[in-house]
Amino acid sequence: MPALDVVVVSFPSAQILDVTGPLEVFSSATRLVSGAEYRTRVVSTSGGPVLASSGLSFGTTPLAEVGTPVDTLVVAGGRDTDEACADEELVGHVRRLAGGARRTTSVCSGAFVLAAAGLLDGRRATTHWAECGLLATAHPSVSVDGDAIYVRDGDVWTSAGVTAGIDLALALVADDHGARAASAVARHLVVYLRRSGGQAQFSTLLASQAAESDAVRELLAWLPDHLTADLTVPALARRVHLSERQFGRVFKAELGVTPTQHVEELRLDAACRLLETTSHAVERIARTCGFGVPETMNRAFRRRLNTTPGDHRRHFGHLARH
């Protein structure tokens, strides 16, 4: 397979992990995966040293010197994304490079730059959870998924904040060289290989951390270890000493999903981990994760992930053999 050119677009006050996270994934893949070779460049409007928001300075190449086509375009995010979006030269070069790229991606608030270039119109996308509302308001033609770790819509990929750029880059490696290759890179970097491809990537941990109510936070901390308990709305409402109606209203207001949806996400996350990392029978996993019977788990997989437990294990179950 020929070397793949990866261009990472940055700007002053960029978030350094938005840049270095994907770079480490591509660098590790080149070293560890047979047949994988990524050539990476970090670029900015003027080139030269760029001062990240952390105070670290890093070198860049001028955008005007980057010719087309490139394989993968990555737009980093950062503190001064508004200024980056107002930089007509930067946005113009992003639009130009995206026109000849096999795939165009963003990390964190880099999605705003893609949107400013018109590259997210009519597409699903995500960004840092704290900025999703702003992205949806500023660009109503974009369908913003506030729960996603990353979103793939055709040849455009966007990710959530900061370290989610690593998840995105691992998914890109999996797209290029298969899940086994991405698994090898994830193990080397000591990070969890999240589910790849076009599946919804829900972060229930981030949702629980966003809760303001002490009672709801305590409930969310308790839930993952009690997936086989009675987790119906009446039972959960009793646990936090609220009426069902009040509990449902508070929960939805703080997490953006219903209690039933959140419980199903937790059970799906747990089931996926067991399918990926163990050889347990599907029947056992369904019981362990609170689905009760395989049929219920199968329906949840089809409805939420557009796949089946068996297909998920066939694609990602190699993790159990390492």
What positions carry a catalytic annotation? 108
For residues 140 and 135, what is the distance between their CA atoms, to the nearest angstrom?
A: 8
CA angle 190, 144, 81 (to 5 degrees): 75
CB atoms within 10 A of CB 81: 26
CB 142 within 8 A of CB 123: yes
For residues 267 and 281, what is the distance between their CA atoms, to the nearest angstrom?
A: 16
CB atoms within 10 A of CB 54: 12
For residues 304 and 116, what is the distance between their CA atoms, to the nearest angstrom?
A: 31
The number of CA neighbours under 13 Å toward the Cβ of 98 is 23
CA torsion, ordered 163, 208, 272, 301, to nearest 10 deg: -120
Helix runs in the chain, H state only? 16-32, 81-86, 88-99, 110-116, 132-138, 164-177, 179-189, 204-209, 214-222, 233-239, 244-255, 259-277, 282-288, 294-305, 309-316
For residues 15 and 285, what is the distance between their CA atoms, to the nearest angstrom?
A: 39
- The rounded radius of gyration (Å) of the Cα atoms in the chain is 21
Token pair, residue 198, equals 């076009």
CA angle 296, 301, 307 (to 5 degrees): 135
